[in-house]
Amino acid sequence: MDGDKLFAVLRITDERAAALLRDGTIEDVSVGVENDFVDMSGRRWGEVVRHVALTLDPYIRNQGGFIPLGSASEENGKGGGEVPATIYAYVDEETGEGYFPHHAEGGAVDLDAVRRALEELPAADLDDDVKDQIRQHLLAHLKETGEAVAAEAPEGGRKLELEGRLAALETRNRELRRELRAMHAESRRRRDEALAAETAELVARGKITPAAAPKVRALLALGDREVLTLEGERTNAARLVRELLEMLPPAVDFGERLALEPPDERVPLSGAEQKMLSTLGLTAADFGRYGHR
């Protein structure tokens, strides 16, 4: 925040989106703001920006333009001048990527951004010596404003570190939960496919009728969830259904029942039939080929 203006530093990792920004196709953003955000641990954050979306049709009009970091904006769409690297607490010399921006336009220090950076720093994917360099830089800003006493004290620094580690663990916990849900969904999909294939094979073998297939599939899906004791031995519904179907004869016989070859023995023509064929000028062989006996 800078007065009544809201700025964001976006890291665009999709090259297609970056190209649309460079050529001016996409010129605006929309943000989702939650007035009283509470995270999964119950911590209340107040008003927060939940997302930033690149858009062609923003709700708020007449926004300022995108400013490419490290290059003149006049050559890349609308926007102002070049953003200095000094807005960051640390800039990677090899990649030019900046971390933890905390300076507003004109160089003023954003203390809220400094505090957030100190909380997020322990979870950052950076070397420990780089993290220490950033921490000292941020604490120096708090010291300049007279607010560094709590943060500079051992217990204050420890508190910030623990809060940062907690935030990182909460983020990791959410990621692991998403992975676990995805694994469960994939497992269910594979199980359903296997049951569908097994049921179809039972129908093809004539063990069950198509009408009974959904009920048999439901019993097979119970698996180990329905444990039974039969003749002193523990089993389950799925195993019992499979054993029973193997013991029973086919419920449907799909064998071929058509006689494709005519019988060898023929019924001889009567005298009246022979007279009729003679009148028509046909032989018995003709009748055998084209007629019915």
Higher model confidence: residue 200 or residue 164?
A: 200
The listed range with the strongest mean pLDDT (76-80, 126-130, 144-148, 262-266) is: 126-130
Number of structural domains found in the chain: 2
Per-residue confidence band for 197, with pLDDT thresholds at 50, 70 and 90 = very high
Per-residue pLDDT of 237-258, as tens digits, reads: 888 888 888 888 887 776 665 5
Residue 98 located in a structural domain: no
Indicate the pTM of the whole model. 0.35
Among residues 32, 60, 83, the one where a domain terminates is 83
CA distance 40 to 232: 48
CA distance 87 to 90: 9
What pLDDT does residue 70 have? 45
CA distance 288 to 220: 56
Residue 287 located in a structural domain: no
What pLDDT does residue 58 have? 83
What pLDDT does residue 205 have? 86
CA distance 22 to 76: 5
Q: Averaged over 87-104, what is the pLDDT?
A: 79
Among residues 229, 247, 265, the one where a domain terminates is 247
Instruction: Outline where the chain has alpha helix (H).
Output: 15-22, 111-120, 128-144, 148-152, 154-204, 213-222, 237-247, 271-280, 284-290
Structural domain including 29 reads 1-83
Q: Averaged over 38-47, what is the pLDDT?
A: 81
Residue 139 located in a structural domain: no
Q: What mean pLDDT, rounded, does the chain reach?
A: 76
Residue 64 located in a structural domain: yes
Q: Which of 97, 136, 139 is nearest to 115 (CA)?
A: 139
Residue 148 located in a structural domain: no
Q: Which of 49, 44, 52, 84 is nearest to 68 (CA)?
A: 84
